[in-house]
A and B are shown apart, each in its own frame.
Chain A
Amino acid sequence: MRLALAIASFVVLIVHGVVFYNQFFHRWEQHQTAYFEQARSLSKNDAERAELEARSPRVEQTIVTSFGDTHVDRCTTCHMAADDPRFAGHAEPLKAHPYSAAMGDVQRNGRWERRHKFSDFGCTVCHGGQGRGLENVYSHGEDEFWPEPMLGYVTQATWRKDFTPHLKGKEYMEANCAQCHTAEDFAGTPHVNRGRKLFYAMNCYGCHKIDGMSEGTLGPDLTEVGHKFKIDYLWESIVEPRANLATSFMPKFNLNDADVESLVIFLKSRRGVNFAETTLDRYKAHIANVAVVIPPGTAGEKAGEQLIADRACTACHKLRDKDGGIAPDLSYEGLIRDNAWMMDHFKNPRSRVPDSIMPTFRFPEEDFTRISSYLQTLKAPPPPAATAAAAYKELCERCHGEKGDGNGKVAWYIDPSPRDFTKAGFMNSKPRDRFVASIQNGVGGTSMPPWKNVLKDEQINGVLTYVLTTFTKEPQREVKPHKVPQQNPVASNKESIARGEGIFLERCTGCHGRKADGKGPNSLDILPHPRNLRNSWFVDTVPDNRLFDSILYGVQGTAMPSWIDYGLTQENVGDLVNFIRSINPKTARSQYARN
């Protein structure tokens, strides 16, 4: 026991020794001593020499209160020579901070005077890093938990190795310059300016909000993104949108490194409230940048084509060989949609497809006209496909999927989801005419476009037969005629609608939701999702008898049950139909007010 006691006591002694050694022999003291020595040899008069002789190492600090939270910068504890021009050629840490006319430093009587005096600005206001630290790993921000490593100089060990080479360079410091120098064309922050332009030009603003600059709601709010995230995260989020969030549907913009860098620097400068920028400044940037980039005198269609390229429409949409993989194919748009539909849809996509996720872009009206006139020129039908299978692959597969299960590459982003052809229950219980009509005329209020101008009737029939034989497989059943009225026998009046609403609230809201928008509590678990009954474009194309049939006898292959089994009478259904029609008024079609 005595041996153990002796050993343990010895350990205690050793640790004390090490701790005291660490406490009293700092790296920064060596730096300071070295500075004093070198400065002594450089100094020309005795008084200065004597002063240096008398100095002993101590922690130096600048307390900066003018820029947001109080900064305590102890950087000059090591960087003693930062303001000593005699040390211009020395190695770090004993190197003078360079003087630069571009930074506003001026030379008076052969002596440089700084515009950004260290006593006023400290160091971390511009450089980042952790002013309070006295060891490299902390003060330079190499410590993985420090949110503000020295911009452009330090990359943290946990950052992705393939990004770190891009994340060095003093241009990153512009993000800090821009906290005060907010002028849009400020010469000192070219990367921030370029990033801001890209933010508008690449349509980032369509999905992302930056307070005062944009109102997008589809993606995360970027108002404080520079405050929340480090530059490696920003870089990663741009070049690999799904790296941090597997369900992100942000497109890959495939920017070159210089553009990504500018965007990262711009985003890093977004810290919510900064020292100088006002809301008004941001709004000015918004107004100025959403305006256009078209050379004057360009013809409408040509300008439209350029706009589609400049505005990165193909980041989501498909146009010939460019495919963003998120939104519908625009290649045959001239044959599918007319000018009025397009203009409505541009101004508010949800006015035509009520559950669309397309952002509302606030382009000037004439830009919409230009894009529309260009899209209207896309009237060339696809080369006639040799087989129905080829036609399906060319036109249908993007939504309905390779296996016809309604799970194409863009299906995830489309609401209502594309029809699943493998659900034989549904496919076999509907008359062939209805499928033909859906293909020819499209399905109103959804992403299913009318194909009648693209495909000839026999092609449509061919594709339908292909779908039914390849995906549905089971042969068409004889559809038993149901007893449903052609027209709603119950007259639409206030009482009937009120009764219908009562039944709806009692029976239907679990799936269709209290707002009848198809987003009831059960809707997430149900595929296909319940119908949005406020989608007027869809509801209006459905005749009374189909509504009666769907409610009374259910929709096979979906979760819609046969309500006749639950005691609904024809009169009840008549009231329900009147209620559904009443929330989709035919007059005053102000779809803007909906959703």
Chain B
Amino acid sequence: MSTATQEPKTKSPGMWGALRQIPADIWSSVFRNPLPSNDLERSSTSFTNFFLHIHPVKVHKNTLRPIYTLGLGLMSLFLFLILVVTGILLMFYYVPSTTQAYDRMLDLRGTVAFGIFLRNMHRWSAHGMVAMVFLHMCRVFLTGAYKKPREFNWVIGVVLLLVTLFLSFTGYLLPWDQLAFWAITVGTAIAGYAPFVGKQMQFVLLGDTTVGQEALLRFYVLHVAVLPVVLVLLIAIHFWRIRKDGGLSRPEAAPGPLVKVRMELQKKVYGLQGFVRGPFTKIGNVPDESVYSWPNLLMAELLVLVLTVSAILVVSLLFNAPLEQPVNVMHPPNPAKAPWYFLGLQEMVSYSAFWGGIGVPTIFVLLLLAAPYIDRSPKGVGKWFARERLLANTIFLTLAVVNVIFIIIGTFFRGPNWTFVSPF
């Protein structure tokens, strides 16, 4: 293909030759670079391709250490992509109407080609994405990656977690079965405990005092239009900032000779790179620990993608997404449980409605948002469980584990009337 880009100068190709040249011309017009065989071409490939130029030309070796990132952020992204694709396909069959939604679910399960498989993929990817985003947050915290200059990206990440939860929550209602109806009834009731605005918030969310047609329509619009757009925008900013902050966090390199970029020298002309903060402006001054994105980073990403897809496919093949009986407003299940990721809240609500449902979660979220501004020490970045970060990690792990324990209790150990039962 590399020959395709070279202009034939020596002889006129003739009619037949020109025709033969057409596919290659088209190819080269789409892909500006041949398959790279040297470093210049590797750089150029990343740089000139719309989908690849989100990557830097070179990445630090630390970024590629599987043990450092565990690929959790990427997995979240890929799950989101699966969700978008399957979600759009499901939208062709779904009607957000209380009289039709459940029947559509039955048709998806029974007659629509690949219907049940699409639904399974969408369901399990949604659960997986909630889990992966949470684990990704844990990874970032435990490696101290939220520290300067990445404070605000951490904040965006926390907002992304909240939006993910809300997306999953709004999707939970759509099958319009007992599971959905009562989970949303419980979930929105928790929102109703908020002081001053709780009831109003609940009303705006439901469009009514109870879960009904209005709520279904609102949740549908939020789920398929509003929240995905918000999420895509936030993801874009999240990724963009990773680039602008000099790639993923990593341990500080051994101190080398530093060269200050002296702005006061008027005579010097700066390229755009002069404004980029972080170690990459110091190329040439520090030992080069970076490798080319093509193929190193791309292969890693491809592996994560294929692993994620295959995991979701296998799970979707083995387990069907639940579909309980049609909504019966008069016959609540006992106990009525919120979606699993809110069961920690519901468990806390069973002790105190306000503190469990609003107080503690709000404090928790505020703590998360404020974490990079409270913890200002620059030490311990880029290392799992750094010794310097013992206190912060302990606090974070305790809160995270307590939440997980509450979720486990709420999911498996709570029976009728929210009494303690043993699942064994």
Residues of A in contact with B (beta carbons under 8 Å apart)? 1, 4-5, 8-9, 11-12, 15-16, 18-19, 23, 59, 69, 72, 74, 130, 132-135, 138-139, 145-147, 224, 228
**Chain B nearest CB, measured from A191 CB (Å):** 25
Whether the Cβ atoms of B306 and A15 lie closer than 8 Å is: no
Instruction: Give the docked Cα–Cα distance between A177 and B114 (Å).
Output: 37
Annotate B149-193 by CB proximity to A: 1 below 8 A, 0 otherwise. 000000000000000000000000000011000000000000000
- Which residues of B lie under 8 Å from residue A16 when comparing CB positions? 313
Whether the Cβ atoms of B113 and A9 lie closer than 8 Å is: no
| Interface stretch (choices B82-90, B124-132, B320-328) | B320-328
Instruction: Give the docked Cα–Cα distance between A23 and B331 (Å).
Output: 36
Whether the Cβ atoms of B117 and A19 lie closer than 8 Å is: yes
Cross-chain contact of B330 among A72, A146, A224 (Cβ < 8 A) = A224
Instruction: Give the docked Cα–Cα distance between A561 and B331 (Å).
Output: 44
- 6 additional A-B residue pairs with CB within 8 Å, beyond A12-B306, A15-B313, A74-B110: A1-B303, A11-B314, A19-B117, A69-B99, A130-B106, A145-B324
Given known pairs A5-B302, A23-B114, the reply for A12 and B309 (CB within 8 Å) is yes
Instruction: Give the docked Cα–Cα distance between A11 and B308 (Å).
Output: 11
- Which residues of B lie under 8 Å from residue A139 when comparing CB positions? 110
Interface size on B, residues (CB 8 A): 31
Whether the Cβ atoms of A132 and B107 lie closer than 8 Å is: yes
Residue of A nearest to B318 (CB): A15
- Which residues of B lie under 8 Å from residue A72 when comparing CB positions? 103
- Which residues of B lie under 8 Å from residue A147 when comparing CB positions? 325-326, 328
Instruction: Give the docked Cα–Cα distance between A1 and B111 (Å).
Output: 40
Instruction: Give the docked Cα–Cα distance between A445 and B319 (Å).
Output: 62
- The answer to the question of B317 belonging to the interface, with a C-beta cut-off of 8 Å to chain A, is yes
Whether the Cβ atoms of A132 and B306 lie closer than 8 Å is: no
Whether the Cβ atoms of A19 and B111 lie closer than 8 Å is: no
- Which residues of B lie under 8 Å from residue A12 when comparing CB positions? 306, 309-310, 313
Whether the Cβ atoms of B114 and A132 lie closer than 8 Å is: no
Instruction: Give the docked Cα–Cα distance between A12 and B326 (Å).
Output: 34
Cross-chain contact of B313 among A11, A59, A224 (Cβ < 8 A) = A11
Whether the Cβ atoms of A228 and B310 lie closer than 8 Å is: no
Annotate B287-330 by CB proximity to A: 1 below 8 A, 0 otherwise. 00000000000011011001101100110010000111110101
- Which residues of B lie under 8 Å from residue A74 when comparing CB positions? 110-111
- Which residues of A lie under 8 Å from residue B323 when comparing CB positions? 145
Whether the Cβ atoms of A59 and B111 lie closer than 8 Å is: yes
Whether the Cβ atoms of A132 and B331 lie closer than 8 Å is: no
Residue of A nearest to B317 (CB): A15
- The answer to the question of B119 belonging to the interface, with a C-beta cut-off of 8 Å to chain A, is no
- Which residues of A lie under 8 Å from residue B317 when comparing CB positions? 15, 18-19
**Chain B nearest CB, measured from A75 CB (Å):** 12
- Which residues of A lie under 8 Å from residue B147 when comparing CB positions? none
- Which residues of A lie under 8 Å from residue B314 when comparing CB positions? 11, 15
- Which residues of B lie under 8 Å from residue A59 when comparing CB positions? 111
Given known pairs A15-B313, A145-B323, A228-B328, the reply for A135 and B110 (CB within 8 Å) is yes
- Which residues of A lie under 8 Å from residue B99 when comparing CB positions? 69
- The answer to the question of B109 belonging to the interface, with a C-beta cut-off of 8 Å to chain A, is yes
**Chain B nearest CB, measured from A557 CB (Å):** 33
A-B contact pairs, 21 of them (CB 8 A): A1-B303, A9-B310, A11-B310, A11-B314, A12-B306, A15-B310, A15-B313, A15-B314, A15-B317, A18-B317, A19-B317, A23-B114, A72-B103, A130-B106, A132-B103, A132-B107, A134-B110, A134-B111, A135-B110, A145-B323, A147-B325
Instruction: Give the docked Cα–Cα distance between A146 and B328 (Å).
Output: 12
Instruction: Give the docked Cα–Cα distance between A12 and B316 (Å).
Output: 12
